[in-house]
Chain A
Amino acid sequence: QVQLQESGPGLVRPSQTLSLTCTVSGGSIRRSADFWTWIRHSAGKGLEWIGRISTSGSTNYNPSLRSRVSVSVDTSGTQFFLEMTSVTAADTAVYYCARQKRGEQLYTWFDSWGQGTLVTVSS
């Protein structure tokens, strides 16, 4: 069973770039037909989908964050990444990485999640 684990700094200064890594074990990102996703949970906005990457490298982003966000994957197929630029206090949240499974008839769901990592934006 695939497992995911987020890592990265817990504190980021305002206007700086937030960078997180998701390490995938028990399966390869490159051999999967699924999407690899970032989601955050903040007190102000609840659960918010940030963006995703497919095994072919194509990306989709939440329009509300598109101008500041980038999701990428490493060549080994065991990690994918989130970068968010120009962060503010509103970006303080628990950040999750997750696998978005594809089903039949375009059904999709987030079936495996990491435990989440708290990122605080503060000077």
Chain B
Amino acid sequence: DIQMTQSPSSLSASVGDSVTITCRASQSISNYLNWYQEKPGKAPRLLIYAASSLQSGVPSRFSGSGSGTDFTLTISSLQPEDFSTYYCQQSFTTPWTFGLGTRVEIK
């Protein structure tokens, strides 16, 4: 299985800050990488697919980049509703696998 490693596991930031989350795959996955946001009791939300394509309806402050094994999710100008947990997921090959998540907390 392809292992997905996210860093950091958690971070503290303030409203208006820009934050970057990193995801590393255990082997090259081209740009077959998706990002999700998860909040307790709510359906997970797709943010980015194919490493850098913004899902319809997702604010433009979210952006993704990367290829091969190293990827980033950037949230520019954090908003109160952005404090949650973020996961990367590889769609290169089955079994599809996820990172362990990055929790973004209010400083």
CA distance A96 to B83 in the complex (A): 21
* A-B pairs with beta carbons under 8 Å apart, 12 shown: A4-B43, A46-B101, A49-B98, A60-B94, A106-B32, A107-B91, A109-B55, A110-B36, A111-B46, A113-B45, A115-B42, A116-B41
CA distance A48 to B96 in the complex (A): 8
Partner of B32, one of A46, A107, A111: A107
- B63 contacts the other chain (Cβ, under 8 Å)? no
- B95 contacts the other chain (Cβ, under 8 Å)? yes
Interface of A is mostly: strand
The reply to whether B44 and A96 form a contact with Cβ atoms under 8 Å apart is: yes
CA distance A115 to B40 in the complex (A): 9
Q: How large is the interface on B (under 10, 10 to 19, 20 to 34, 35 or more residues)?
A: 20 to 34
CB neighbours (8 Å) of B99 from chain A are 46
CB neighbours (8 Å) of A64 from chain B are 95
Interface of B is mostly: loop
A:82-109 near B, CB below 8 Å: 96, 98, 103, 106-109
Q: Mark B1-43, 1 if CB is under 8 A from A, else 0.
A: 0000000000000000000000000000000101010100111
The reply to whether A113 and B91 form a contact with Cβ atoms under 8 Å apart is: no
- A26 contacts the other chain (Cβ, under 8 Å)? no
The reply to whether A109 and B91 form a contact with Cβ atoms under 8 Å apart is: yes
Partner of B44, one of A60, A107, A113: A113
> Which residue of chain B has the shortest Cβ distance to A46 in the bound complex?
B100
The reply to whether A103 and B50 form a contact with Cβ atoms under 8 Å apart is: yes
CA distance A113 to B36 in the complex (A): 11
> Which residue of chain A has the shortest Cβ distance to B100 in the bound complex?
A46
* Distance (whole angstroms) from the CB of A47 to the closest CB of chain B: 4
> Which residue of chain B has the shortest Cβ distance to A37 in the bound complex?
B96
- A62 contacts the other chain (Cβ, under 8 Å)? yes
B:88-105 near A, CB below 8 Å: 89, 91, 94-101
The reply to whether B95 and A62 form a contact with Cβ atoms under 8 Å apart is: yes
Partner of B41, one of A62, A96, A109, A115: A115
Partner of B97, one of A49, A96, A113: A49
